[in-house]
Amino acid sequence: MNVAGKQPPPAPLERPASLLVPTWTKTGIALLYDEGSENAYDIQLKLTKEVLTIQKQDVICVSGSDHNTNHRTVTLHRQPVGGLGLSIKGGAEHKVPVVISKIFKDQAADQTGMLFIGDALIQVNGINVESATHEEVVHLLRNAGDEVTITVQYLREAPSFLKLPLGSPGPSSDHSSGASSPLFDSGLHLNGNSTNTAPSSPSSPIANEPKYEKRWLDTLSVPLSIARISRYKAGTDKLRSNAFEVLALDGVSTGILQFYTAQECADWLRALSTNISDLTLQNMKMANKCCSLSHQIIHMGWVNERLEGTDSSQVYKYKFLALKGSSFYIFSTPPVSTLDWVRAEKIYHLCEVLFKVHKLWLADDCWLQANLYLGIHQDYELEDQRPYCFSVMVGHGQSHYFNVELGSELAAWEKSFQRAIFLEVQRTGSKTYMCSWQGVTLCFTVDFALGFTCFDSKTKNVLWRFKFSQLKGSSDDGKTRVKLLFQNLDTKQIEMKKALLGKLGPDPAALTQKNLNFRI
């Protein structure tokens, strides 16, 4: 279709309508996974427009004096019914501390107001139990008498399987694990009998004793401006199961964030991606205030570039790409100042690059299916297992192969390349290439208004001319030969025109892309 008389493409900084979603503020519970210990513990995530904050639970003193903020010593009075009113999990045999896993409402432990789920036992009646097994601590507590003094410390990074969700009273479902497992919940409230069966006074906090509360406290803030998200296990093409990592521009990492369901993971990915995209858009707008219309930034963001390893394995490395003015930039680190743009690893002219989407698997991001349809070709023969991939051909057989983390990012890059190339072709207006056919040196002109013209370089005689609306197909051999198919307006027949492009000509594939962009 001829572009003459058509409306121009969307403004360079306009987000495609199909991708418009609100900026997110969000709070939720997740797990922080430690690859070294293979443990995961509860955290709370708090997302704002500009920052992702990780919060960990801790017990703090909210009133009264507390001379030792790390340890709390509490005296429990065993009750005839309910015993100490708590349960424990863990033990040294499992390389985890003994932790309070339940506190039963209105019973001894609860009445103190000083004990919390997640408290690790340090001492029982003055005996250190930090290196004790589960059964040793159970035996000690059950035989400690009616008055039991325990010293505890809240374990901020307790493995998640040692703790129950907040507000989950009642019998544990972990009994099937057996007493040898850290999942086993020893219910001290079930067997509270001691040698003295006389009723004991209920435990209660003393008026002048400090009071404590369990609260979520900020422990790490990750700026989202030009941040990146990684869903893959380091050094592999294997996606993490319901997990990802967020890395800030300065290298600060959230660590591996795990979620209980795939839907929760997808929701957080969408929210974070939206906020990162919005911040990137703001950065682009600020930078474009200092640039002329012909040098505006169209799009930029993080990708993974596939590199060939020394053992022929596929290695991915983070790269930062940008479409600015007439050029396509590849950076190892994002440009944060005007001077950084000249320090790009690679710079290519947009009129002579070919963008190609390779594959898209929507199954991993089901939320995209309703608003993202690309109708793209699938390269099933590719061995790469990463789902959202595209390549940019930049020369005679040379190309860069990239992967992004989300389908929405792939869609954004495709739309942005289309806009950037269209705008550059529109600015260029007309371009002439040297070529040859049957031994004759020819000139091949692509003109934004007139279409395609081929003429003799010496005599200037026009050999053939076609409008853009007559172009019905194009192909190339990836090296020097290009083939164009035009429809004759009079006969309606398809005519084939071939050309051999020399060293002064563009990459044939890029020329094909240019022709197609004229037709958009």
Which residues, other chains included, contact 290 with Cβ-Cβ below 8 Å and sequence gap of 6+?
338
pLDDT for the residue numbered 363 = 47
Name the packing angle between helices 407-428 and 508-519 (round to 10°).
Answer: 90
Stretch among 272-276, 295-299, 472-476 having the lowest mean pLDDT: 472-476
Q: Would you say residue 21 has pLDDT above 80?
A: no
Q: CA separation (Å) from 307 to 46, 272, 322, 402?
A: 36, 27, 19, 9
**pLDDT the model gives residue 177:** 36
Contacts of 398 (CB under 8 A, 6+ apart): none
Q: What pLDDT shows up at residue 174?
A: 37
Residue 17: is its pLDDT beyond 80?
no
**pLDDT at residue 45 greater than cutoff 60:** yes
Which H, E and C letters describe 344-387, residue by residue? CCEEEEHHHCEEEEEECCHHHHHHHCCCCCCCCCCCCCCCCCCC
Phi, psi angle pair for 265, to nearest 5°: -60, -45
Task: Give residue 428's pLDDT.
Answer: 86
Q: What does pLDDT average to over the chain? A: 79
Contacts of 241 (CB under 8 A, 6+ apart): none
216-237: average pLDDT: 89
Does pLDDT of 28 surpass 70?
yes
53-101 pLDDT tens trace: 999 988 888 877 665 567 889 999 998 888 899 999 888 888 888 999 8
Q: Yes or no: say if 228 and 318 are a contact pair by the CB < 8 Å rule.
A: yes
- DSSP conformation class of 165: P
> Model-level pTM greater than 0.75?
no
- Sign of the Cα torsion 147, 151, 156, 159 reads negative
- Closest alpha carbon to 304 in 291, 296, 316, 312: 316
Share of the chain above pLDDT 90, in %: 42
- Please state, in angstroms and rounded to a whole number, the distance separating the CA atoms of residues 392 and 384: 16
Q: What is the pLDDT of residue 93?
A: 87
Q: Return the pLDDT at 361.
A: 53
pLDDT at 65: 65
Indicate the length of the chain as a whole number.
520
Residue 190, φ and ψ in degrees, nearest 5: -85, -25
Per-residue tokens: 485 = 């198919």
40-54, 304-318, 365-379, 461-475: which range is least confident on average? 365-379
Strand pairing partners for 318? 304
The pLDDT value given to residue 440: 84
Among 240, 238, 241, 243, smallest CA distance to 384 is for 238
Q: How confident is the model at residue 228 (pLDDT cuts 50, 70, 90)?
A: very high
Range with the poorest average pLDDT among 149-163, 360-374, 400-414: 360-374
Model pLDDT for residues 293-334, shown as the tens digit of each residue = 889 999 999 999 988 755 556 688 899 999 999 999 999 999
Give 7's pLDDT tier (boundaries 50, 70, 90): very low
What pLDDT, in 10s, does the model give residues 162-219? Answer: 654 433 333 333 333 334 444 456 666 545 544 444 444 444 445 567 788 888 999 9
DSSP per-residue string spanning 415-444: HHHHHHHHHHHHHH-EEEEEEEETTEEEEE
| Per-residue pLDDT, 366 | 41
Please compute, for residue 88, the number of CA atoms within 13 A of its CA located in the half-sphere on the CB side.
Answer: 29
What's phi and psi for 418, nearest 5 deg?
-60, -45
414: left (phi over 0), alpha (psi -120 to 50) or beta: alpha
Nearest to 404 by CA among 341, 359, 338, 351: 359
Of 338 and 11, more confident: 338
Q: Cα–Cα distances in Å, from 149 out to 77, 110, 129, 438? A: 9, 15, 13, 100
Per-residue pLDDT at 204 = 47
Q: What is the DSSP letter of 83?
A: B
Q: What is the CA radius of gyration of the chain?
A: 33
Q: Find the mean pLDDT for residues 447-456.
A: 90
Which residues lie below 8 Å from residue 36, measured CB to CB, with a gap of 6+?
none
What is the four-CA torsion angle of 220, 223, 226, 227, rounded to 10 degrees?
A: 20
- With 60 as the cut, is the pLDDT of residue 493 above it? yes
Q: Is the pLDDT of residue 133 over 60?
A: yes
